[in-house]
């Protein structure tokens, strides 16, 4: 090996070390969000500069690197475990800590396994097809860029009196947004390309939680978090395309190459064309179970003369704009370094707004407008990847993804468990023949446990707002309108996530 080659290898190692250092430095300002899927296009070598069908999401301009017909099918399975151990509370006020905190609230663990073999496509699936010529490339993909799933077990029969310790924050949550995206890339000159895309978004979901009706009764709650005073709300739209509400997104990107350096930048808009500020979930299959401690309670709310439920729910929340950028440096033949970042504007995803319609809800003293506080920050998901081709048949890679929590420590709750995260990922892609490729990946997300001592959720605010007759000029009623006048979420939270991915590609 000559001196110049050694010097090139030293420079490559120095650049890789610098990129990893920059990745850790950026993580101090980065944020992750529970609603985001970090592996939208599967666990593959896709990036803002990769000329494969994953570019439909990462950067539609990079589709201009494709030649001929391509088909891509990717699936990512995810195993996750979230544990919540709530702090004891004062039985008269519901506040945590202090000498009066003698009432144990318990602990719960949600273990979920998400597999991509569902219809409609997602969560965790990516289906794409496209054709590229010398000047134009057309492609289409179906995937689920935004989703959130968590299911805490109920220890008993499922009635409010037997629900677990997370019931006032979340029992189960399944929000899905299926995107059908056509994309076009146009080549200008030899090294510059422009891409456009439009997404047709179909939103569905379900969520289940308990509402402590005793908090809003005159004279105070009496016994805090009394299961006999809890009403259970189960809002469900169904998960088929026919059950979904529709909106549109727009996107575009640019790609440029200079010698052995490639750069890509893209933008995707938030949902447009919806009659609400965000996306909507129509809960046509909604039930509300009355508090078991009331006369005739413990059963679903019904209408006079009807045995079936007659309550309908409507859920509204916002989704972000996304800016994606990346650089690829070809260090030498077969060896490349990718550094990329996604800036996801989730700062507007501050709440889930729930409105219910039912002629007997008011008569039963059950709220018809509930706000669940979110308060997410923007996301900067930064990652670096080294990839190497071995004899043009096998490509292997190692990736590091580092993120901070998008949720402030005081806002963490069972529906949004988040904190500092680091995820090492290993990738491989094998050429099966002239036309077929098979890829695989594995990632382990490590998040240190988070202890919440000063929770933003304060049940005494709900009682104070009731005493003020709902006057929005008071701080207590503003907290209730913001969704923070709920039972406290103080406690310790842990999370462990493993991702497994397979990708099959056909190139003709």
Place of tokens 């006999």: 228
The pLDDT of residue 307:
53
Q: What DSSP assignment string belongs to 69-129?
A: EEEEEEEEEEEEEEEEEEPPB-TTT--BSSTT--B---EEEEEEEE-S--SSS-SSEEEEE
The pLDDT of residue 31:
34
Mean pLDDT over all residues of the chain? 86
Of 497 and 294, the structure prediction assigns the larger pLDDT to 497
What are the residues whose beta carbons fall under 8 Å from the beta carbon of 219, sequence distance 6 or more? Answer: none
List the one residue out of 393, 419, 396 whose CA is nearest residue 406. 419
Cα–Cα distance measured from residue 320 to residue 406, given in angstroms and rounded to the nearest whole number: 13
In this prediction the pTM is 0.86
The pLDDT of residue 421:
87
pLDDT digits (tens, 9 = 90+) for 183-198: 999 999 889 999 999 9
Regarding beta strands 172-188 and 125-132, do their DSSP bridges make them parallel or antiparallel, or are they unpaired?
Answer: unpaired
Residue 113, Cβ density class (10 Å: 0-12 exposed, 13-18 middle, ≥19 buried): exposed
- 56-65: average pLDDT: 96
Q: Is 3-144+178-199+248-276+318-507 a CATH 2.40.160.60 domain? A: yes
The pLDDT of residue 306:
59
- 316-321: average pLDDT: 93
The pLDDT of residue 329:
96
**Is residue 21 predicted with pLDDT exceeding 80?**
no
The pLDDT of residue 42:
92
List the one residue out of 373, 377, 372 whose CA is nearest residue 347. 377
pLDDT digits (tens, 9 = 90+) for 114-124: 888 877 777 89
Task: Kindly state the helix (H) or strand (E) to which residue 389 belongs, with its residue range.
Answer: strand 379-390
Residue 177, Cβ density class (10 Å: 0-12 exposed, 13-18 middle, ≥19 buried): buried
The pLDDT of residue 263:
97
**Is residue 18 predicted with pLDDT exceeding 80?**
no
pLDDT band at 375 (very low <50, low <70, confident <90, very high): confident
pLDDT digits (tens, 9 = 90+) for 142-156: 999 999 999 988 654
Cα–Cα distance measured from residue 396 to residue 364, given in angstroms and rounded to the nearest whole number: 62
């Amino acid at each position: 090996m000559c001196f110049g080659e050694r010097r090139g290898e030293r420079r490559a190692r120095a650049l890789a070390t610098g990129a990893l250092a920059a990745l850790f430095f950026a993580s101090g300002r980065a944020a992750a969000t529970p609603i985001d899927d970090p592996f939208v296009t599967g666990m593959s070598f896709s990036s803002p500069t990769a000329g494969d069908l994953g570019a439909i999401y990462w950067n539609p301009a990079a589709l201009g690197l494709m030649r001929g017909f391509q088909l891509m099918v990717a699936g990512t399975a995810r195993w996750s475990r979230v544990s919540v151990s709530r702090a004891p509370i004062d039985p008269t006020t519901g506040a945590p800590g202090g000498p009066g905190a003698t009432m144990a609230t318990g602990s719960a663990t949600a273990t979920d396994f998400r597999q991509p073999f569902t219809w409609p496509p997602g969560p965790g699936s990516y289906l794409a097809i496209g054709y590229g010529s010398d000047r134009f490339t057309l492609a289409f993909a179906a995937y689920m860029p935004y989703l959130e799933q968590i299911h805490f077990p109920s220890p008993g029969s499922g009635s409010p009196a037997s629900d677990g310790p997370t019931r006032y924050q979340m029992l189960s949550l399944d929000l899905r947004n299926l995107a059908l995206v056509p994309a076009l890339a146009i080549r200008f000159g030899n090294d510059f390309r422009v891409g456009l895309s439009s997404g047709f978004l179909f939103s569905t979901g379900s969520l289940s939680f308990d509402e402590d009706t005793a908090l809003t009764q005159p004279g105070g709650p009496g016994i805090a978090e009394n299961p006999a005073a809890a009403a259970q709300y189960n809002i469900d739209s169904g998960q088929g395309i026919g059950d979904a509400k529709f909106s549109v997104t727009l996107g575009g990107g640019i790609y440029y190459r200079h010698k052995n350096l490639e750069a890509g930048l893209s933008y995707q808009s938030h949902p447009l064309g919806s009659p609400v500020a965000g996306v909507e979930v129509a809960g046509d299959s909604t039930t509300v179970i009355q508090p078991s401690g009331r006369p005739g309670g413990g059963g679903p709310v019904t209408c006079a003369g009807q045995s079936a439920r007659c309550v309908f729910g409507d859920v509204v929340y916002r989704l972000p704009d996304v800016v994606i950028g990346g650089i690829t440096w070809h260090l030498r033949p077969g060896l490349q370094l990718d550094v990329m970042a996604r800036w996801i504007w989730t700062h507007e995803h501050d709440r889930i707004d729930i409105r219910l319609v039912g002629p007997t809800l008011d008569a039963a003293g059950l709220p018809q407008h509930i706000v669940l506080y979110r308060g997410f920050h923007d996301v900067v998901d930064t990652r670096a990847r080294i990839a190497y081709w071995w004899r043009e048949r096998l490509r292997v890679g190692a990736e590091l993804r580092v993120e901070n929590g998008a949720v402030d420590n005081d806002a963490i709750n069972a529906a949004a468990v988040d904190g500092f995260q680091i995820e090492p990922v290993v990738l491989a892609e094998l050429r099966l023949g002239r036309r077929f490729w098979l890829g695989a990946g594995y990632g382990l997300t490590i998040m240190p446990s988070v202890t919440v001592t000063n929770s933003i959720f304060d049940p005494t605010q709900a009682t104070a707002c009731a005493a003020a007759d709902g006057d929005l000029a008071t701080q207590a009623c503003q907290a209730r309108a913001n969704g923070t006048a709920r039972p406290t979420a103080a406690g310790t939270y842990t999370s462990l996530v493993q991702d497994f991915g397979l990708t099959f590609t056909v190139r003709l």
